Structure 1
C-alpha cells in the first residue's frame, strides 16, 4: 500500500492524465457549448465582457471565438489529440476570464484560474500514453 502511495508508476501517471483530460475537457466543452447555445445575443454579451479591457467592438465575433476555443480545446484535450494546442486554446480563454474577474470576489476568478492552471499542466505534461497523440506520434 505504501508503495502505491509514495512511488510514482508510469501507468498510474497515465491513468491520472487520462482522468484529468476527460474531466477538464468535458467541463470546458460544456462551458463553450452553453455559450454557443445562447445564440447571437448571448455571444455578444460574452464578447462585451471585454469592454473594461478597452475592446470597443466585434463583441459577437469575440464571444463566438471564446465559445469555439472552449469547445474545440475541450474536445482536443478529451481525445488527447494535439493536446498542447487544445491546452493553449483553453489557457487563452481562461486567462481572459480570470483577468476580467480578478477584482471581484474570490469565487469569480478562482474557477477560471484553476482550470487555466490545469490546462498549463497538460501543456507541459502532455496527454500521456492513453491518447491519440501517443498513437500518432509514437511516444
Structure 2
C-alpha cells in the first residue's frame, strides 16, 4: 500500500500544529462514549500520523494507584522517541455492564500512552502505517 499525503479535509486543530514541511499521511476521528446512565455524549477525538510524529487529542488511560482514570490530552510523540506500538484488548466496566475495549499503546522514552481505539483492526491499521512511515524517515 503506497502512502498518500493528506492535503485537504484536515481539521484546523491539526493543520495549525504542523511544521512547515511536515506532511500528514493518516488521520482518523476516534469517538469516546459515555457509559450507562450518562447522557451518552459523543465527543470527537482524533489521531494523526505525519512523516515525523504521532499527533493525538483523546482521553488517555492513566493509573492512579489501583484506579484507572481517563484524562483528556492533546499531544505529539516524535518517531525517534517511540520504541514500540502495540494493540491491546481488554474488558472494562462502563456504567451497567462490561464491554470489550481496545487500546493503541505507544511506548516512549517517557512511558506508555494508552489511546482508546474503536476496533482492533483500527489499531493494526495505525500500527502498519506507523511502521511504513518510521522506516521511511
Q: TM-score range, shorter-chain basis?
A: 0.3 to 0.5
Q: Which has the higher helix share?
A: 1
Q: Which of structures 1 and 2 has the larger relative contact order (alpha carbons within 8 angstroms, sep 6+)?
A: 1
TM-score by length of 1: 0.34
Larger strand fraction of residues: 2
